[in-house]
Amino acid sequence: MDAAMLNQLTAAIKSGNRKLATTLTSQAIADAVNAQVILDAMVAAMDDVGRRFKNNEIFVPEMLIAARAMKEAMALLEPVLVKAGIRPHHTAVVGTVQGDLHDIGKNLVAMMWKGANFNVIDLGANVPPEKFVAAAGEHHAHLIGLSALLTTTMPAMKTTLDAVRAAGLAGVKVVIGGAPVTQAYADEIGADAYAAEAASAVEVARKLVAA
CB of 74 to ligand B1M, least distance (A): 20
- E strands, the chain, are 91-96, 119-122, 143-147, 173-177, 193-194
Q: What is the 3-state composition of the chain as percent helix, strand, coil, each rounded to the nearest 5?
A: 60, 10, 30
| x/- track of binding to ligand B1M for residues 165-194 (CB under 6 A) | ----------xxxxxx--------------
Q: Which of these, 57, 77, 78, 67, lies nearest to 18 by C-alpha position?
A: 67
Residue 9 or 109 having the CB closest to ligand B1M:
109
185's CB contacts (< 8 A; 6+ apart) are 154, 157, 176, 194
Q: Distance between CA 178 and CA 195 in Å, rounded?
A: 8
Q: Distance between CA 78 and CA 117 in Å, rounded?
A: 11
Residues 161, 172 contacting (CB under 8 angstroms) = no
| Phi, psi dihedral angles at 64 (to 5 degrees) | -65, -40
CB of 60 to ligand B1M, least distance (A): 5
Residue 39 or 100 having the CB closest to ligand B1M:
100
Instruction: Kindly state whether residue 100 participates in binding ligand B1M, applying the rule CB under 6 A.
Output: yes
Instruction: Kindly state whether residue 147 participates in binding ligand B1M, applying the rule CB under 6 A.
Output: yes
Given 37, 75, 101, 166, the residue binding ligand B1M (CB under 6 A)? 101
Binding segment toward ligand B1M, per CB under 6 A, in 13-21, 34-42, 71-79, 106-114: 106-114
CB of 173 to ligand B1M, least distance (A): 11
Instruction: Kindly state whether residue 102 participates in binding ligand B1M, applying the rule CB under 6 A.
Output: yes
Instruction: Kindly state whether residue 38 participates in binding ligand B1M, applying the rule CB under 6 A.
Output: no
Give the binding site for ligand B1M (CB under 6 A).
Answer: 60, 94, 99-106, 108-109, 145-147, 149-152, 175-180, 195, 197-198, 201
